[in-house]
Amino acid sequence: MWDKLILYSRRDKAAVNIKSILEDDYDVSNLLAVDDVLHLESLDRSHETLCIVASKHSSKSGKPCLTCHSPGNYSNADYGGNPRELSYAPAFYLQKALQLLEEKQRREGVNYEVSFECTHHGPTGLEQPVFFVEVGSTEKEWRDLVACSLVAEVINELFSYEPVKGNKVAIGLGGGHYCRKFTEIKDYAIGHICPRHNLPFLDEVMLGEMVSKTLPAPDVALIEWKGMGREKKRVMDLLVDTGLEIVKV
């Protein structure tokens, strides 16, 4: 059983709203403010602490969305973390976060798209498993207290959630940044996801990062078959030696 900690950046408007709601409505106290979560290099906590990051999401499209993902860099570290390093991704908690976001989005009827995101940005060097639950994609949404309350409710429920291994655990390969195929899949708990645009950087080392840093250890590699591009054959050859069951979606 993991201890749980909520991380947030002081300069993140959505995160500060979510934090305030957690304190006021749910009496949650196990929160830690930092200047910039993306560049966090270590935590003075047990490695058995699960870190849930309340965060804004930014995108050029500006589309309202509620997302979750674990951090990591397949190549350069343009937004925190270390190059070619992934965090520890808690697959069952990611699956539960997505499920709760979908449930509460339907209940509230808010016009926000719910999805997984692929693995991206920092922090990558923490010894603790970490994942983000986000409100996006512009300042309008970051100030939307209905959306922030929804995310706070999800995080509060994740605090009391303890997974019982049921679904197989998987990594995901291919597709776009918002992982719409993988978002639809309910039969697997998905940890790290490498999207099509990062497949050229996927080699034995980075595939090893995906496998060794998905928790618990994955059984399956989910392949978005039509979303692999020209890297398909090379990546499929890399997977041969992993011992993972390959499932095309």
- Same structural domain for residues 53 and 140? yes
Cα separation, 122 vs 226, in Å, equals: 28
State the average pLDDT over residues 218-229: 97
Q: Give yes or no for residue 43 having a pLDDT over 90.
A: yes
Q: Give yes or no for residue 1 having a pLDDT over 80.
A: no
State the average pLDDT over residues 148-158: 98
Which residue range is the domain that position 74 belongs to?
A: 3-160
Residue 52, number of CB atoms within 10 A of its CB: 25
pLDDT tens digit string along 81-102? 999 999 999 999 999 999 999 9
Confidence (pLDDT) at 141: 97
Q: Which two tokens stand for residue 63?
A: 């589309």
What is the pLDDT confidence band of residue 105, given thresholds at 50, 70 and 90?
A: very high
Out of 122, 142, 160, a domain closes at 160
DSSP 59-121: -TT---EEEEE--EESS--TTSS-TTEE-BEEHHHHHHHHHHHHHHHHHHT-S-EEEE--S-S
Q: Give yes or no for residue 77 having a pLDDT over 90.
A: yes
- CA dihedral angle for residue 68, residue 70, residue 95, residue 46, rounded to 10 degrees: -120
What single-letter DSSP state applies at residue 109?
A: T
Confidence (pLDDT) at 61: 86
Confidence (pLDDT) at 111: 96
H or E stretch at 24: helix 13-26
Confidence (pLDDT) at 47: 93
State the average pLDDT over residues 146-163: 97
pLDDT tens digit string along 169-189? 999 999 999 999 999 999 999
pLDDT tens digit string along 198-216? 999 999 999 999 999 999 9
- Same structural domain for residues 91 and 118? yes
Q: Give yes or no for residue 165 having a pLDDT over 80.
A: no
Of all residues in the chain, what percent carry a pLDDT higher than 90?
A: 95
State the average pLDDT over residues 29-46: 96
Mean pLDDT of the residues in the chain: 96
- Same structural domain for residues 99 and 195? no
- Same structural domain for residues 17 and 136? yes
Out of 100, 135, 160, a domain closes at 160
- Same structural domain for residues 34 and 67? yes
Confidence (pLDDT) at 153: 98
State the average pLDDT over residues 10-31: 96
Out of 160, 184, 219, a domain closes at 160
pLDDT tens digit string along 47-63? 999 999 999 999 888 89
Provide the CATH number for the domain around residue 189: 3.40.50.10700
What is the pLDDT confidence band of residue 118, given thresholds at 50, 70 and 90?
A: very high
- Same structural domain for residues 49 and 79? yes
